[in-house]
Every structure is written in structure tokens, then in C-alpha cells.
């Protein structure tokens, strides 16, 4: 895909549904009694992987494009899949589903694409094994393919070394089936969509600080879920509006759960002209209309407890930092190395190729802003967030930029380029 500088971006858009909430709606819907109806479900490849995995376990899921209807099988109703559960590129499907599969009365195998086969799974294998699970990495490298021999589990308390919602959620989902209570404490609070959705489905869950505690469930009650827009998708337009000259963009109905809204705080700290008007709260998830205008920005430090609240936005925030005066330092973000690609290496490589003054560190990046960017050849590295970040950088660079593997946006935002073009 080829890009040129734009003089201005203006208009209104509605980004697609939240990826994390969409995945969870399929999983809890499948385990519930009754039919769960999900509106504004994200029709990206990752969430469709979650649908197809649960269909392979006998769950009837109808996807009309507008509404997804899941006929729940109840907590004990999943069937043994006849083939490998293919998660595609989706880390969330892999890790959360592993927590459920660990407790089923059957054996299953999970596998995915080349990127999934490099993502660390030891982080869920360890706590699930402490609960009694039997999970084997078939290549012996703590990555997928994983063979899961379902068995009975018992509750544990787990002190997680990483602030990861996927790890926390895998344990809490396993906890639904375990004997006794299960709790997880994390170093910083990660996104809490699982906990909020557990509450909605009638699961007994307690949240205190960075600890979540679940009781074994007798049943889950089917729900109607309206998924808010994904702030991680809105992030590209937030940054585009701030750095492109003569711009004003309104993004409607964006989820602003406080465990996800770190980007708003960072933009404000950098001097952004940004307004956030809350519109509603559904299933405990607040949403808002966000308006951004071209702004004069200055550098900042992004570290500590805010990192999990903006972990997926760090690639586009690195682009933002290139357009801010002074230095932006990102630290405590070593998790970036084990995302769909090594996002520290890739951002440093290609922003440098565009002329930015950026340096990678062990746990983040240092960006000295203010140098004009020029076009370059970028490889998406089959990482959706890399492709979208460089599309926004390219609109603000002198000359032509070419992104190969640009179609990878299908993972989380199939209409990304069309929406951008409309602005």
C-alpha cells in the first residue's frame, strides 16, 4: 500500500468493536446457559478465530455481521474438538481458551500462525499447572502448538510476575471450574474486561487493588452485550488528528475503561487538544466521543503503572513522540518484545528509516522529537499495529511511503484504510 503526505484530516468516524471484549463475549457466551447476543462485535480475523474454535467444540454461533448469537452449552457442555483448534494470529484466543480447556473432560490441541508459535506460553502453563492442569508445548519451547489434557483443577493464589490480562484471565477462567477459590495478584492492574464480564454473567468475583478472586461457578447466565468501540483502534486517529496540520477528528463511541485509557492521559501530558465526552456505560464499560485537533506537543515519560493501560498503543505513541518537541522516554515496556512482533525493534528500525531520532532500550524507546520524517519502505512484519502506526506516520512524511503486508490490519481493523481515506 502506498501513502503520501496529507495536508489535513477532518471528519467523524466510528471505530469497530473492542477486540478484548469481543473475544470474551464468545467465551463466556459459549459457557453460559441460554443465548448470548453480541452487538458491535469486532469482525476482525482474531475474533473470528475465537468463534471458529468454539464452533469446533460444538457451540452454535450465528454471525450475521451486525449481531453474533451464541447458543451457550453451559459450563460442562463443550465437546471434544475433532481437529486442532486454529487460533490464527490471536494470543488472546490462545491464552484465554487454554484456561478453559485445561478443565474440560477431553484432550485438545491449540495451534496458530508463525507469530503465535513464537509467543511465550510458559506464562500461562506455569500457573495453570499449579492448578493441576496438564499442558505440553509440543515443540518443547513453551510456545504453541499446545496439547491440553483436560483434568480437574483446584484453586490457587498466584502472584503473577507480569501485568498481563491474558495471564490473569486464563487463570480466572480456569478458576470457574476449579475446586475452591482462585485469585491472581499482578504487579500493576491490567485490563479488567474479564472481571467486568464475569460480574455481568453472574459469576462471583471480587476485585481489590491488583488482586482478582473468583469462586467456582455453578452456572453463567446468558447476556446481551453491546461492545464499545476499541480505544486501541481509535488511537491511530487520535494521533493522526494531533500531528496532521489543520485537522479535527471526532471518534464516536470509544470504550474508555480506566484500565485502557492511558493514551488519553499521555496525550494530555504532551499538550494535546483533546476532549472526551462520556456517552454511556454498558456492562460496566464506559464509552465516549473523543475529539482531537492539531496540537503543539512536547515530550514526556511513559513508565510504571500506566504501561499496561496503553501497552497496545505504544507503537503509535512512538510515532506521536516524533512530532513532539523534546525527548519522550518509554520504559517498563519489555512486554513489547513478545507481542505480534518485537515492537521495540520494528518501531526503531522503521522510524529510523523515516529519519526519526529514536533509540531502543531493554524495556522501551527513547525518541527525540522534532526531526521531519521522510518516506521509506516499511514491512508490516505481519503485525497489524505496526502497519497502522506507519500508515499514520506516512501521511506526515515528505515523499512516498510503501508498506508491504499492509493487509494485516484485517486482524483487528478490516476497514482501517477506508476509514482513513474518508477523513
For residues 21 and 156, which CB has a smaller minimum distance to ligand S3P in the complex?
21
For residues 315 and 375, which CB has a smaller minimum distance to ligand S3P in the complex?
315
- Nearest-10 crossing angle of helices 314-322, 343-353: 30
Which 8-state DSSP code applies to residue 312?
A: G
User: In this chain, which stretch among 65-73, 164-172, 173-181, 246-254 interacts with ligand S3P, using CB under 6 A?
Assistant: 164-172
For residues 232 and 294, which CB has a smaller minimum distance to ligand S3P in the complex?
232
- How many amino acids of this chain bind ligand S3P (CB under 6 A)? 11
Binding map of ligand S3P across residues 270-309, x = CB under 6 A, - = no contact: ----------------------------------------
Count of residues for the chain?
Answer: 423
* Interatomic CA distance for residues 306 and 366, integer angstroms: 17
Cβ–Cβ contacts within 10 Å for residue 82, how many? 7
Q: Which of 221, 335, 357, 402 binds ligand S3P (CB under 6 A)?
A: 335
Furthest CA-CA distance within the chain = 62
**DSSP H or E run through 193:** helix 193-200
Contact 13, 237 (CB under 8 A): yes
Which 8-state DSSP code applies to residue 113?
A: -
Number of H helices, E strands in the chain: 12, 23
* Interatomic CA distance for residues 200 and 282, integer angstroms: 10
- CB of 370: closest distance to ligand S3P in angstroms? 29
Q: Is 20 in the site for ligand S3P (CB under 6 A)?
A: yes
Q: Is 164 in the site for ligand S3P (CB under 6 A)?
A: yes
User: In this chain, which stretch among 100-108, 160-168, 220-228, 259-267 interacts with ligand S3P, using CB under 6 A?
Assistant: 160-168
For residues 316 and 324, which CB has a smaller minimum distance to ligand S3P in the complex?
316
Binding map of ligand S3P across residues 77-96, x = CB under 6 A, - = no contact: ---------------x----
400 is catalytic: no
Q: Is the dihedral of CA 366, 373, 242, 193 positive or negative?
A: negative
| Catalytic annotation, pick one of 46, 230, 261, 312 | 312
* Interatomic CA distance for residues 291 and 237, integer angstroms: 10
| Cis peptide leading into residue 145 (ω within 30°) | yes
* Interatomic CA distance for residues 165 and 309, integer angstroms: 10
- CB of 414: closest distance to ligand S3P in angstroms? 17
Q: Which of 212, 311, 392, 406 binds ligand S3P (CB under 6 A)?
A: 311
- CB of 191: closest distance to ligand S3P in angstroms? 6
The catalytic residue positions are 312
Residues making contact with ligand S3P (CB under 6 A): 20, 92, 164-166, 169, 190-191, 311-312, 335
Amino acid at each position: 500500500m502506498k501513502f503520501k503526505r496529507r495536508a489535513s484530516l477532518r471528519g467523524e468516524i466510528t471505530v469497530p468493536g473492542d477486540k478484548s471484549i469481543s473475544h470474551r463475549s464468545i467465551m463466556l457466551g459459549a459457557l453460559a446457559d441460554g443465548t448470548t447476543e453480541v452487538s458491535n462485535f469486532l469482525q476482525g480475523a482474531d475474533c473470528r478465530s475465537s468463534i471458529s474454535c468454539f464452533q469446533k467444540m460444538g457451540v452454535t454461533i450465528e454471525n450475521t455481521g451486525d449481531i453474533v448469537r451464541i447458543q451457550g452449552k453451559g459450563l460442562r457442555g463443550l465437546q471434544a474438538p475433532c481437529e486442532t483448534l486454529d487460533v490464527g494470529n490471536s494470543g488472546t484466543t490462545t491464552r484465554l481458551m487454554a484456561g478453559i480447556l485445561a478443565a474440560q473432560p477431553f484432550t485438545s490441541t491449540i495451534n496458530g500462525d508463525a507469530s503465535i508459535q513464537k509467543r511465550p506460553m510458559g506464562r500461562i502453563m506455569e500457573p495453570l499447572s499449579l492448578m493441576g492442569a496438564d499442558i505440553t508445548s509440543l515443540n518443547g519451547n513453551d510456545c504453541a502448538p499446545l496439547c491440553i489434557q483436560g483434568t480437574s483443577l483446584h484453586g490457587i493464589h498466584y502472584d503473577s510476575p507480569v501485568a498481563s490480562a491474558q495471564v490473569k484471565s486464563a487463570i480466572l477462567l480456569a478458576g470457574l471450574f476449579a475446586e475452591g477459590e482462585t485469585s491472581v495478584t499482578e504487579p500493576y492492574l491490567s485490563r479488567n474486561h474479564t472481571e467486568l464480564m464475569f460480574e455481568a454473567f453472574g459469576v462471583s468475583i471480587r476485585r481489590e487493588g491488583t488482586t482478582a478472586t473468583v469462586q467456582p461457578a455453578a452456572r453463567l447466565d446468558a447476556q446481551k452485550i453491546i461492545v464499545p468501540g476499541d480505544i486501541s483502534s481509535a488511537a491511530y486517529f487520535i494521533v493522526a488528528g494531533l500531528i496532521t496540520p489543520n485537522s479535527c477528528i471526532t471518534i464516536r463511541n470509544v470504550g474508555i475503561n480506566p484500565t485502557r485509557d492511558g493514551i488519553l492521559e499521555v496525550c494530555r501530558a504532551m499538550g494535546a487538544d483533546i476532549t472526551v465526552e462520556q456517552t454511556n456505560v454498558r456492562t460496566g464499560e464506559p464509552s465516549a466521543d473523543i475529539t482531537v485537533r492539531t496540537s503543539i506537543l512536547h515530550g514526556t515519560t511513559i513508565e510504571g503503572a500506566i504501561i499496561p493501560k496503553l501497552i497496545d498503543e505504544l507503537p503509535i505513541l512512538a510515532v506521536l513522540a516524533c512530532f513532539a518537541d523534546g525527548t519522550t522516554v518509554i520504559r517498563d515496556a519489555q512486554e513489547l518484545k513478545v507481542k505480534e512482533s518485537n515492537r521495540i525493534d520494528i518501531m526503531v528500525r522503521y522510524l529510523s528509516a523515516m529519519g526519526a531520532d529514536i533509540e531502543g532500550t531493554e524495556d522501551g524507546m527513547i525518541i527525540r522529537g522534532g526531526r521531519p520524517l521522510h518516506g521509506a519502505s516499511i514491512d508490516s512484519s505481519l503485525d497489524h499495529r505496526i502497519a497502522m502506526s506507519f500508515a499514520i506516520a506516512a501521511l506526515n512524511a515528505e515523499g512516498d511511503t510503501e508498506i508491504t503486508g499492509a493487509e494485516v490490519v484485517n486482524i483487528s481493523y478490516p476497514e482501517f484504510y477506508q476509514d482513513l481515506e474518508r477523513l
